[in-house]
Structure 1
Amino acid sequence: MKAKINENYSIREATLEDAKTIWQAIDLHRDYLKTWLPFVPKLHTVEDEAAFLHATLSVPYQDRNIVFMIEKGKEFCGLIGFVNTDNVNHRTEIGYWLLPEYQGQGIMTQSVKYLSRWAIRERNMHRVQICCAVGNHPSNAIPQRLGFKMEGTIRHGELLSSGEYADINIYSILEREI
Structure 2
Amino acid sequence: MFRFEIEAGLALKPLELKDGNKLYQLITESRQHLRTYLPFVDQTAKPEDTLEFVKATVISNAEQKSFVTVVLVEEQIAGLVGFNQISWPNKKAEVGYWLAEPFIKRGITTKAVRAIINYAFKTLELNRITIRAAFFNKASQGVAKKLGFQQEGVIREAEWVNDQFVDHVVYGMLKRDWVPEPRSQD
Same fold (TM over 0.5): yes
Q: Which amino acid counterpart does residue 171 of structure 1 have in structure 2? A: Y
Residues 65 and 45 of structure 1: CA distance in aligned 2, closer, same or farther (over 3 Å):
same
TM-score w.r.t. structure 1 length? 0.94
Q: 1:16 matched to which residue of 2?
A: 17
Q: Post-superposition shift, 1:62?
A: 5.4
Task: Give 5+ residue unaligned stretches, structure 1.
Answer: none
The residue aligned with 2:155 is 154
The question of whether the paired residues in 1 share the 8 Å contact of 2:61 and 2:68 is answered with: no
Q: Which position in structure 1 is the counterpart of 2:33?
A: 32
Give percent identity, aligned residues only: 28
Question: 2 CA distance for matches of 1:59 and 1:83?
Answer: 8
Query: Displacement of 1:176 after TM fit?
Result: 0.5
Q: For residue 170 of structure 1, what is the aligned residue in structure 2?
A: 170
Q: Which residue of 1 aligns with 2:113?
A: 112
Deviations 1:137-171 (A, max 9, x none): 1010001011011100001111112x211110111
Q: Which runs of 5+ in 2 are unaligned?
A: 179-186
Deviation larger for 97-106 or 11-20:
97-106
Q: Which residue of 1 aligns with 2:92?
A: 91
Where 1:153 maps in the other structure, the secondary structure is: strand
Consecutive aligned runs of 4 or more in structure 1 exceeding 4 Å deviation: none
Match of 2:182 in 1: none
CA distance in 2, matches of 1:9, 1:79: 13
CA-to-partner distance for each residue in 1:104-137, whole Å, 9 max, x for gaps? 1111101111111101111121101100001001
- What do residues 38-72 of structure 1 show as CA deviations (whole Å, max 9, x unaligned)? 10010122211111111122236352312211111
Match of 1:65 in 2: 66
- Contact kept in structure 1, 2:81 and 2:98, CA below 8 Å: yes
Counterpart of 1:165, as a letter, is F
Q: How many residues align?
A: 177
| TM-score, structure 2 normalization | 0.90
